[in-house]
Structure formats: structure tokens, C-alpha cells
């Protein structure tokens, strides 16, 4: 008889007597458990769930019955999955879905059940604790035994379980926040710590004070780590720099006073001082006045910061320039190196206060091509009314930019001080502090109307460089324009066009991408021949009146957008853009291409012309023979290159850049870096072995540029030949049946995080629905690897390979296991990540079509393994 037929199922047939239960006594919970045990052993999940739901409905008191089951059995006390834990999770689901009645909150009967459940917590594994807390509403129970249980977990080294349970039971106020959080921070589980203190302002302040104390100069985190000798720690993630970023983010997130964290604030100020010294002493791209003002504001009267500043100045070789800086800052002569002190005395004698080294060479920079009298400073509603017609002329092209006082990472989006709007022959400088206050005044209303009309008129082409970010800053400064980015119509962001030019990897002759200008200044140099003079970029834009240098700089920043735009429209092919660029750039957000036609702007940004390799092109190298080492800022690039089969090592956060040069020399790797040490690294590994990566590009564009620069040959078979997560290139093939068994034994019968059949079904439908048809020629993912054998497993529960690598089975959705066409899985032998056939390879092949060998233009992407974690 069919096992699913109620007539053949004693547990579901009322005529069989005690299994059906009667209204007076209800069903015997132990017999009910025996019935479920039979189905549990056969792994018939569907029938098991149906039987459980029928049984819960016939039990007189399902909550008391669950406790009886747990009292009578010891199977759930061990490691691994258990029927009792599954029953508890299923009862929780039924109560939440109101499939069976639950007790009223605060009732006497519930209190008795809570007392029994609390006693069981001491022996409960993590998979049973959460449903017990939910079913018996233990967050409302007597706190003393709950606190005792949390303390016991902590003493046993189960720090994650202790903090999770403490948060679920809302016990934070009665627990020592430092004691609970320190081991989790050492294990790089800051997300759990943040959730633990969420909603408790006092605990948030204490946590931040703790993290700040770890950032004080000379602090050794290893001293704290020695208190937890049996715990696997991630101390590389706890460098003062990484911790400082977390603290600053939390300060802003919770709206707390930065004075709570003096060490992190000083660390941030020191980083700003380093940056300013680099800009002044190395790049020489900031004026004396601006530099001195910012440095004095950062160092103030803090003795430690003043000492650090002196060390920064003393580390530079140009004694004359350092002496000039010391003179501007009124630094005491006795605290300076002898050579600098001698130069300082000479400066005072000769009264040489001119800044010759920085003022010379103005002809080397882009010059504003319009007369000074065509710069208009608008600070009132009358000024706006006088020039409104020129600003809103239909059909014209305008360049837009913003300036604000540097905040040096103080948190939050900076408030804009000046808005520049350039039209042909003129530049208008709008004084935002005057035009945006008082709220509701005549000037703010006039300003809001004018800017709104300018942004929403699709016939006016608005040019910008990073336009979306500028408009968000404008909205932060003027709340009435908070939706400015969404209102924008008819715009062109030249940053996107510049990214296409850089992706083509053909910079203008003589342009050094690492040491030369960057951003808009680099675009101006590549297109117009000379970079922007950025001397005033870091000046105080809140000061009024603005100096002449600031006015000219601000006007040039906006007007150069017009000149770049006109040059690109005249000669798009010269800059490796599509020939239809003129129309492309005019197609703003408010216009559409014809039916079935890709907007030309999108074509310009996604289909750069292929530039034939010249005689000096690098020799071709296969992807699997190309080896690189990246700094920690290029994690996204590393994943994309690994995805294409390239061997990539990544420096740990805070690891010295000199380590990259050491690895490159020892292992024959190329260095990819985004930081300032480019020149030092290049000198250590030789020509052609170090590349400075443009961080303004997206990771996919960076990968394309690297492949073109080094002439790397990538084929279809290279894709996913290496694990994106750990860089391992060895996989094991696992049959579908074996994978089902391993997932079942791991205690994840319902997919990741206990999401249940519904979530798994949604995931399954999403994956299969997005997977394209198999490509012509039968191109599928078939890596060269052997099948997983029994002897490869050190243990099945948890599923662990012979070298100790645990398979990451929690990320395999139940819906994928039920997919009819799926034959097998792959697991990485390095990290245990699990993959299966999906649409990810097709997307990768499409994204890298222009550099992928052997993929015709009409080739449709094929199925490929998708990582158990969500594909990026």
C-alpha cells in the first residue's frame, strides 16, 4: 500500500485508537515521537512534516508534550542533528502560522512550562535553544536561571552561542558588555556585537570606549588575545586602522559624540596630517595658506599630534620647503632638525615668504579661456533673477560642480559651500550658505525654483564628473533639494565616459597614471593637453569673501567640462569611444532611443573600440600561468581575476606593502596596487612587474584593464577554474545523492539558515529562471577533477575532508537539491565552498566577452556552477 495513503498510515488513521487521541486525554506524546522516528530514519521529509502537523493538532497541550519528549529522550543532547530539535523547530513554525493553539502570554500554565524549559537550556545545543526561547516566550521568564545559562555557555568557550542567546532573551542590561563582546571582536564577528548592543545606548558607548582603547598608541591586541588560548582568533582584522573605521562608522550610525573615542579621533587626524604633508611636500598641490590652516586646525594644542607632525616634517628631504612649513606653523626652532633650523633662520633673516616653488609653472595647467569679468558671484535672489534667463536657456549645455570645505573623514556627507554652473562664455558661482538660508526666505525659494527648473529641463544638457555624488551633497546642504538626484533629466556624467577611456588602457602620451593627475584633472589632461591646477582644492570654501585664486579655480572646474565635452564630440575615435558619441552624449536621462535600440550613450560606455596591439605589446600569457599579488584595497578585483582562472594572492588588512614586493620576488608574481607606495614597489620588482590600479573604476573594469595591460589570454575553460573565495584550484565532484545525504546529516534539511521550503523554492525558481539555455556546441562547465570518495571524508557529521576542511553545506538551498536536471555538485578542497550548475558562468562570459578568447559575438552564455553564497 502507498506510504502516503492515510489508510496505510497508522499515525493518521483515527480508527486505530490511541494514536488519534481523544478530546479528554489527547495523543500520547511518546507514541507520537515513535511514529515520527520511523519517518525520520527513512528521511521522508514531506511525510514527516505532514505527520507532525497532524500530531500537533491532536495533542492536548503541544508545549507540554514537547517537554515530555525532551525529558524522555537523550538523543538531542549529543552533537549533530536530532529528531527532537527538528520537532521543536516545526512546532515553532506551526505556532507562528497559527496551525495549532499556543498559551496566552503571562498565564500560570505558561510560567510552569517556562520553568521546565529553562532547566533544559543548560544541555541544549544551539539548534534547540532558539526554538525553545520562541515557543516558551523565555524572554519573559525568570531572569536568574537564564543568566546562569548564558554565563555557563561563556565559560565553556561558546561565546557566539552566549551572545546570541543573551540578545534573544534581552539580557544585555544584566550582562557585562566587555566580557560578552571581547571574544567576538577577536574572532572578527563585529556584526554579532553590533546586533547585541542595538537599542542599548549605554552599551553602545561602552563598546565604543572599549574599541577606542584598543586604538591607543602602543597597545598590543595580543595581550588581550592570550586570555582566550583555545579560540581561533582573527587578529589581522583588528589593526588600529581597521578598528578606527568601525568606530567612526558606529559613532555616525548611533549619533554619538566623537569625544567618546579620543584615540580614534587622533588616529583620524594623524591620517589627515599625513595626507596634507604628502599633498604639500610631495605633490606640492596645496597652497601655503590652506595647508597651514588645515594643519593648525587638526593638530591644535594636542602634544601627541604636534610630535607626530614634527616627525612627518623631519622625514622629508627638502629642508627649505620644510622650513617654510615650520615658519607658517610657528614651530619652535629647537624642535626641528639642524638642517631645517638653519633654513628657518635664513628665511627669517631674508624675510623670504614668497612661495616660488608652488607659484611657478602656471602655464603648465589648464587656463580658464574666458575674461575675469564673465565670472559672476550670485549671493541674493536679485542676483538669481538677473541671470535666470542665461542659466535656463533651452537647448544649451551647462557644466556643473560643487565645492565644500574638506572634512578629512569626519563623518557624514560634507555640506556644499559653492555651486558652479558654466555656460558658453560665462560661469556663475552660487553662494550656497547665503542662498539657502534663512529657510523659507526669498533667496532660498528663488534658488530652489531655479535649480529645480535647471535639473528637470531635459533640453538642457547637464555635464558633471561624479554628478550623482555632487547632487547628494547638494541635497544634504539644501534639504529642499534632497530629491535633486531623482529629478535630474538630460544629464551626462563624464566620469562614465572617462571610465570607458581608461578601460581601453590607452592613456595619453606622457601621462603617468600613478604619479600624475587623477580624476577630472586627468581627463582634462588627456583631452585638452594640460591638467587642472588643484592648488585651491583643499582650501576653506566656507570663508567669505573667497580669494581670487578660489574664484578662478572654481570657475575652471566647471568650464573645463564644457571644453572636454566639445572635444569628445568632435573626435570620439581619438579617445577610443564610439563614433556616435556626439549623439550619445546628447541623449540624457529624459530622452529614449528608438524601439529595440540600445541607447547610444550605453553603447559608448559598454562597447569601446578594440585597439590593435602595437609592436610593443606584451607577450601573450595564459590566464592560469599569470600570477599576481594585490593589496587589501583590491578585494573586488581579486575575486574577478580568480573568477577568470588567474592565481591571486591578497595582502591582509593592515599588512605592510613591502610584503607584496617580497611575495612578488619569491613567487614570480605581478603586483597590483591602489595605494601611494606604487613607486617604492615598482623600484623593488623592476619594470613591468607592478601596476597602479585606478580605484574609481568598478572591479570588472579594473579586471579588463589588467588583462589588456598584460595581454592575458582568457578562454572559456578558465572561468571558475579557481575558487573566488580562497584561490584554490582543486575541486571534488559530488553526486547529487551524496550531497543530499551530507546536507541531511549536517542538520540543514531546509536550506540555509532554516529558511524553510518556501524560501528554498523561491531561491530555486530564481536560479532556474535566470539560467539561459545551453550554448551552441554544448559548452558547459566540466572542470578536470575527480569524484568525492568515502576515504576523502574525515567525518560525515560535520562533513569534513581529510585535511580538516569543512564543507559549507549550510549554503545549499533545498530547492537546488530538488532540481530535476542537476546531476552533481563541486566542492572546493581549500575552503569547502559548494558550487552547482547555474547561470553564473554565462553572466561572467557576457561581462568579459571583449577579452574572452573563442566567444563569438552571438554566443549565448551557458550554465555554470553557482557558489553556495549568493553570486556577486
pLDDT in tens, 744-771: 887 655 443 333 333 333 233 333 332 2
Asked whether the predicted pLDDT for residue 594 surpasses 50, the reply is no
| Per-residue pLDDT, 575 | 80
At 795 the three-state DSSP class reads strand
Q: Are residues 248 and 161 in the same domain?
A: yes
pLDDT tens column, 554-586: 999 999 999 999 988 888 878 877 655 545 444
Say if residues 823 and 733 touch (Cβ distance below 8 Å).
Answer: no
- Greatest extent of the chain over all pairs of C-alpha atoms, in Å: 113
Q: Are residues 252 and 269 in the same domain?
A: no
Range ranked top by mean pLDDT from 345-349, 426-430, 515-519, 696-700: 426-430
Q: Does some domain include residue 51? A: yes
Q: Does some domain include residue 725? A: no
Q: Does some domain include residue 279? A: yes
| Per-residue pLDDT, 24 | 34
The mean per-residue pLDDT over the stretch 767-789 comes to 54
Asked whether the predicted pLDDT for residue 600 surpasses 50, the reply is no
Mean pLDDT over the full length of the chain: 79
| Per-residue pLDDT, 32 | 85
Asked whether the predicted pLDDT for residue 166 surpasses 50, the reply is yes
Alpha-carbon span 755 to 96, nearest angstrom:
14
Q: Are residues 64 and 211 in the same domain?
A: yes
Q: Does some domain include residue 608? A: no
Asked whether the predicted pLDDT for residue 831 surpasses 80, the reply is yes
Q: Are residues 284 and 429 in the same domain?
A: no
Say if residues 523 and 564 touch (Cβ distance below 8 Å).
Answer: yes
Q: pTM for the complete prediction?
A: 0.57
pLDDT tens column, 786-830: 888 888 888 887 888 888 888 988 888 878 888 887 888 999 999
Q: Are residues 315 and 424 in the same domain?
A: no
What HEC string does 375-404 produce? Answer: EEEECCHHHHHHHHHHHCCCCCEEEEEEEE
State the CATH number of the domain containing residue 425.
Answer: 3.30.420.10
Give the number of domains in the chain. Answer: 5
The mean per-residue pLDDT over the stretch 106-111 comes to 73
Q: Are residues 394 and 331 in the same domain?
A: no
Q: Are residues 542 and 442 in the same domain?
A: yes
Say if residues 822 and 816 touch (Cβ distance below 8 Å).
Answer: yes
Q: Does some domain include residue 388? A: yes
Q: Are residues 700 and 809 in the same domain?
A: no
**Number of neighbouring beta carbons within 10 Å of residue 610:** 11
Q: Which of 366, 372, 677, 296 is nearest to 525 (CA)?
A: 366
Q: Residue 27 — pLDDT band, cuts 50, 70, 90? A: low
| Per-residue pLDDT, 134 | 83
pLDDT tens column, 174-188: 999 999 999 999 988
Q: Are residues 468 and 544 in the same domain?
A: yes
pLDDT tens column, 426-459: 999 999 999 988 877 899 999 999 999 999 999 9
| Per-residue pLDDT, 350 | 73
Last residue of a domain, one of 257, 279, 304: 257
Say if residues 66 and 55 touch (Cβ distance below 8 Å).
Answer: no
Q: Does some domain include residue 773? A: no
| Per-residue pLDDT, 363 | 79
Alpha-carbon span 399 to 419, nearest angstrom:
11
The mean per-residue pLDDT over the stretch 773-785 comes to 54
Of 353-357, 671-675, 753-757, which range is least confident?
753-757
Last residue of a domain, one of 257, 282, 310: 257
Asked whether the predicted pLDDT for residue 21 surpasses 60, the reply is no
pLDDT tens column, 42-97: 777 788 888 888 888 888 888 888 888 888 877 676 666 788 888 888 888 888 88
Q: Are residues 435 and 322 in the same domain?
A: no
pLDDT tens column, 360-418: 567 789 999 999 999 999 999 999 999 999 999 998 999 999 999 888 766 566 789 99
Q: Does some domain include residue 805? A: yes
Nearest-10 crossing angle of helices 159-168, 143-155: 160
Alpha-carbon span 260 to 233, nearest angstrom:
27
Q: Residue 206 — pLDDT band, cuts 50, 70, 90? A: very high
Cell of 181: 563582546
Asked whether the predicted pLDDT for residue 419 surpasses 70, the reply is yes
Alpha-carbon span 768 to 815, nearest angstrom:
10
Q: Are residues 548 and 564 in the same domain?
A: yes
Q: Are residues 380 and 524 in the same domain?
A: yes
Last residue of a domain, one of 222, 257, 292: 257
Compute CA distances 768 → 91, 763, 820, whole Å.
31, 9, 11
Q: Residue 346 — pLDDT band, cuts 50, 70, 90? A: confident
State the CATH number of the domain containing residue 706.
Answer: 3.40.50.280
pLDDT tens column, 689-734: 888 888 778 888 899 989 988 889 998 888 888 998 899 988 999 9
| Per-residue pLDDT, 867 | 42
546: domain range?
A: 370-505+517-583
Q: Does some domain include residue 537? A: yes
Asked whether the predicted pLDDT for residue 318 surpasses 70, the reply is yes
Alpha-carbon span 683 to 700, nearest angstrom:
28
Amino acid at each position: 500500500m502507498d506510504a502516503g495513503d492515510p489508510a496505510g498510515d497508522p499515525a493518521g488513521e483515527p480508527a486505530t485508537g490511541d494514536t488519534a487521541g481523544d478530546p479528554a486525554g489527547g495523543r500520547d506524546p511518546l507514541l507520537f515521537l515513535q511514529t515520527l522516528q520511523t519517518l525520520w530514519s527513512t528521511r521522508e521529509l514531506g511525510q514527516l512534516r505532514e505527520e507532525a502537523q497532524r500530531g500537533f493538532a491532536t495533542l492536548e497541550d503541544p508545549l507540554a508534550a514537547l517537554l515530555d519528549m525532551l525529558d524522555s529522550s537523550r538523543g538531542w543532547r549529543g552533537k549533530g542533528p536530532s529528531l527532537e530539535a527538528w520537532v521543536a523547530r516545526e512546532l515553532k513554525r506551526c505556532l507562528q502560522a497559527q496551525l495549532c493553539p499556543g498559551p496566552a502570554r503571562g498565564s500560570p500554565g505558561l510560567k510552569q512550562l517556562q520553568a521546565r524549559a529553562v532547566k533544559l537550556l543548560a544541555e541544549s545545543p544551539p539548534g534547540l535553544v532558539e526554538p525553545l526561547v520562541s515557543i516558551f516566550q523565555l524572554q519573559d521568564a525568570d531572569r536568574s536561571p537564564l543568566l546562569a545559562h548564558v554565563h555557563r555557555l561563556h565559560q565553556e568557550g561558546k561565546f557566539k552561542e552566549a551572545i546570541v542567546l543573551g540578545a534573544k532573551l534581552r539580557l544585555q542590561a544584566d550582562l557585562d558588555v566587555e566580557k560578552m563582546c571581547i571574544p567576538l571582536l577577536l574572532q572578527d564577528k563585529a556584526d554579532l556585537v553590533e546586533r547585541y548592543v542595538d537599542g542599548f545606548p549605554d552599551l553602545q558607548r561602552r563598546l565604543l570606549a572599549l574599541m577606542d582603547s584598543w586604538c591607543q598608541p602602543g597597545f598590543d591586541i595580543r595581550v588581550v588575545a592570550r586570555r582566550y588560548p583555545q579560540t581561533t582568533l582573527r587578529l589581522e582584522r583588528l589593526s588600529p586602522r581597521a578598528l578606527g573605521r568601525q568606530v567612526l562608522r558606529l559613532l555616525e550610525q548611533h549619533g554619538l559624540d566623537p569625544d567618546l573615542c579620543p584615540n580614534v579621533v587622533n588616529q583620524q587626524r594623524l591620517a589627515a596630517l599625513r595626507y596634507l604633508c604628502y599633498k604639500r611636500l610631495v605633490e606640492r598641490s596645496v597652497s601655503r595658506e590652506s595647508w597651514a590652516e588645515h594643519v593648525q586646525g587638526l593638530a591644535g594644542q594636542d602634544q601627541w599630534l604636534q610630535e607626530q607632525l614634527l616627525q612627518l616634517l623631519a622625514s622629508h628631504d627638502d629642508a627649505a620647503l620644510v622650513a617654510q612649513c615650520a615658519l607658517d606653523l610657528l614651530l619652535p626652532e629647537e624642535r626641528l632638525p639642524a638642517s631645517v633650523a638653519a633654513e628657518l633662520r635664513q628665511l627669517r633673516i631674508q624675510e623670504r615668504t614668497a612661495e616660488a616653488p608652488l607659484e611657478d609653472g602656471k602655464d603648465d595647467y589648464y587656463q580658464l579661456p574666458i575674461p575675469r569679468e564673465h565670472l559672476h558671484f550670485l549671493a541674493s535672489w536679485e542676483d538669481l533673477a538677473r541671470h535666470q534667463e542665461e542659466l535656463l536657456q533651452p537647448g544649451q549645455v551647462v557644466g556643473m560642480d560643487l565645492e565644500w570645505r574638506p572634512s578629512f573623514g569626519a563623518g557624514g556627507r560634507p555640506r556644499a559651500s559653492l555651486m558652479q554652473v558654466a555656460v558658453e562664455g560665462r560661469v556663475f558661482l552660487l553662494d550656497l550658505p547665503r542662498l539657502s538660508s534663512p529657510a523659507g526666505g526669498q533667496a532660498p525659494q528663488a534658488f530652489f525654483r531655479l535649480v529645480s527648473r535647471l535639473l528637470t529641463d531635459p533640453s538642457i544638457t547637464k555635464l558633471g564628473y561624479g554628478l550623482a555624488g555632487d547632487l547628494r551633497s547638494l541635497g544634504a546642504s539644501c534639504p529642499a533639494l534632497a530629491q535633486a538626484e531623482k529629478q535630474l533629466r538630460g544629464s551626462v556624467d563624464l566620469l562614465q565616459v572617462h571610465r570607458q577611456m581608461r578601460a581601453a588602457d590607452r592613456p595619453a602620451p606622457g601621462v603617468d597614471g600613478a604619479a600624475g593627475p587623477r580624476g577630472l584633472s586627468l581627463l582634462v589632461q588627456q583631452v585638452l593637453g594640460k591638467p587642472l591646477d588643484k592648488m585651491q582644492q583643499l582650501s576653506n570654501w566656507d570663508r567669505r569673501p573667497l580669494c581670487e585664486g578660489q574664484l578662478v579655480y572654481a570657475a575652471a572646474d566647471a568650464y573645463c567640462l564644457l571644453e572636454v565635452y566639445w572635444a569628445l564630440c568632435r573626435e570620439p575615435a581619438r579617445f577610443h569611444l564610439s563614433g556616435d558619441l556626439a549623439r550619445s552624449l546628447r541623449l540624457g536621462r529624459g530622452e529614449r532611443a528608438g524601439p529595440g535600440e540600445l541607447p547610444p550613450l550605453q553603447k559608448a560606455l559598454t562597447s569601446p573600440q578594440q585597439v590593435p596591439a602595437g609592436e610593443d605589446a606584451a607577450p601573450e600569457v595564459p590566464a592560469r600561468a599569470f600570477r599576481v599579488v594585490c593589496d587589501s584595497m583590491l578585494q573586488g578585483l581579486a575575486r574577478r581575476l580568480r573568477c577568470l582562472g588567474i592565481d591571486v594572492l591578497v595582502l591582509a588588512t593592515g599588512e605592510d606593502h613591502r610584503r607584496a614586493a617580497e611575495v612578488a620576488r619569491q613567487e614570480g608574481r605581478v603586483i597590483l596596487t591602489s595605494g601611494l607606495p606604487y613607486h617604492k614597489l615598482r623600484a623593488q620588482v623592476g619594470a613591468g612587474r607592478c601596476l597602479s590600479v585606478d580605484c574609481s573604476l568598478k572591479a570588472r573594469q579594473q579586471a579588463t584593464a589588467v588583462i589588456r595591460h598584460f595581454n592575458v589570454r582568457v578562454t572559456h575553460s578558465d572561468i571558475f577554474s579557481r575558487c573566488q573565495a580562497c584561490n584554490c584550484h582543486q575541486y571534488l565532484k559530488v553526486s547529487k545523492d551524496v550531497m543530499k545525504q551530507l546536507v541531511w546529516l549536517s542538520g540543514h534539511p531546509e536550506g540555509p539558515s532554516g529558511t524553510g521550503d518556501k524560501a528554498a523554492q523561491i531561491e530555486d525558481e530564481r536560479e532556474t529562471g535566470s539560467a539561459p539555455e545551453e550554448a551552441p556546441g554544448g559548452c558547459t562547465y566540466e572542470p578536470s577533477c575527480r569524484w568525492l570518495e568515502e576515504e576523502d571524508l574525515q567525518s560525515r557529521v560535520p562533513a569534513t575532508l581529510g585535511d580538516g576542511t569543512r564543507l559549507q553545506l549550510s549554503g545549499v538551498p533545498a530547492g537546488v537539491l530538488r532540481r530535476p536536471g542537476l546531476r552533481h555538485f563541486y566542492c572546493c578542497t581549500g575552503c569547502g565552498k559548494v558550487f552547482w550548475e547555474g547561470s553564473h558562468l554565462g553572466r561572467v562570459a557576457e561581462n568579459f566577452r571583449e577579452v574572452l578568447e573563442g566567444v563569438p559575438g552571438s554566443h549565448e552564455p551557458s550554465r555554470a556552477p553557482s557558489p553556495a553564497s549568493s553570486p556577486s
